[in-house]
Chains A and B, each alone.
Chain A
């Protein structure tokens, strides 16, 4: 069985400060993990993915995530938040490529 838990439903940061969005996963096999971003009234866009290569994954727009098997975590970080980062973020797990399990999402607010 696979599942994802996003530990914070809402995160607020000031512009220019670091962002941390937390994700824990459960998977019976070696998982592939993803972060997607959804801006208001838009579809989802892939930020980054981990598919058993390097454990530190770099994505678009300055985001990174680190796969930690011992902690079953895949937290998303960014050193300096920008106003345009305000959006909903989803952590996703898959081990087959045809079934994807989404977390419930974290809403990121960036305060000017």
Chain B
């Protein structure tokens, strides 16, 4: 399917467990982003990637790890989940024609108990 997809769409996990959220895009966009959405904060950038093997921190990177070995995939890993990481996570991509226009995935709702 064309576009940007996220999996899983819903996830419940326990404190201390490792969780990986997947993001896949079919446009060969150079940039990819991970955001978290929390009430009262809007969306906040966790990490972004300008190309395969190039990643950089955003506004709230602590507790998260990313990798990008292929252009189309950008997984986000919570190495040891905490309750404060309960949130809705959105992946987005942009470029190469217009780096400023981001296309968002449907989101992953993560609950850490």
A residues at B contact (CB < 8 Å): 32, 34, 36, 42-46, 49, 51, 90, 94, 97-105
Interface contacts (Cβ under 8 Å), in number, total 52
Contact B99 A97 (CB under 8 A): yes
Known A43-B105, A102-B42; 15 more pairs at CB < 8 Å: A43-B90, A44-B102, A46-B103, A51-B100, A97-B100, A98-B48, A99-B45, A99-B58, A99-B59, A100-B102, A102-B35, A102-B43, A103-B42, A104-B40, A104-B41
Taking CB atoms, residues of chain B closer than 8 Å to A102 are 35, 42-44
**Residues of A with C-beta under 8 A to B94:** 97
Tell me the count of chain B residues lying within 8 A, CB to CB, of chain A. 26
A33 to chain B, nearest CB (A): 10
| A46 to B, closest residue via Cβ | B101
Of all chain A residues, the one with the shortest Cβ separation from B90 is: A43
Q: Which residues of B contact A44 (CB under 8 A)?
A: 43, 90, 92, 102, 104
Inter-chain contacts of A100 with B (CB < 8 A)? 33, 45, 102
Please determine whether B42 and A94 come into contact, CB atoms closer than 8 angstroms: no
Partner pick for A49 among B31, B59, B100, CB 8 A cutoff: B100
Which 10 pairs across A and B sit closest by C-beta, in order of nearness? A102-B42, A43-B104, A97-B99, A102-B43, A44-B104, A104-B42, A43-B106, A32-B100, A105-B42, A97-B100
- Is B104 touching A45 in the complex (CB atoms < 8 A)? yes
Taken together as a complex, chains A and B put the C-alpha atoms of A103 and B101 apart, in Å, by 17
A98 to chain B, nearest CB (A): 6
- Contact partner of B50 (CB less than 8 A), chosen from A42, A49, A90, A98, is A98
B48–A99 CB distance below 8 A: yes
Which residue from chain B places its CB closest to the CB of A103 in the assembled complex?
A: B42
A94 touches B90 (CB 8 A): no
**Which residues of B are found within 8 Å of A101, using beta-carbon distances?**
45, 59
